[in-house]
A = this chain, B = another copy of it.
Amino acid sequence: MFRINRMTDYAVVLLVDMARKRTVRSAQQIAAETGVPLPTVSKIMKTLTRDGLVTSVRGAGGGYALGREPGVITVADMIQAVEGPIALTSCVEEAEEECGIESLCPMHGHWTQVNTAVRGALATVSLADMAADQPMFGVPAQ
């Protein structure tokens, strides 16, 4: 079951919500409207802020708003903000870990090709697409 983790999914939900109501709103409001529990919203917003995907306003009356136009934020950006670099295995350049059998491994480097393809696919869909009212039937995904 190849899947993104739940925090990332929620992050996208929150971003879509912000993309629709383009105004500064508190974490509490956003939590109430999306159904995501408040502490979780809070945690996710912190990480999204670090990457500049959302901007924050502190103090009473503050909150969060989208940091860039929805059209220029891709799904790849969102995933990377929450999960870190997209590195399918530990032998693609972006990964920081080391692989135990790397020396014997018969396909040193080939994963990079797959990794690039996947990242490319994730970059074809923007936040604006995700926030559209209707799923886009008939639009070729690749």
Contacts and interface: CB of A to CB of B under 8 A. Distances in A.
A70 to B, nearest CB: 12
Given A2-B79, A3-B89, A122 B114 contact: yes
Q: Identify whether the interface residues of A are mostly helix, strand, loop, or mixed.
A: loop
Copies of this polypeptide in the complex = 2
Contacts of A136: 113
B105 A129 contact: no
Interface size class of A (residues with CB under 8 A): 35 or more
Given A2-B79, A16-B107, A107-B131, A113 B125 contact: yes
A99 B9 CA distance: 11
A52 interface: no
A30 B2 CA distance: 26
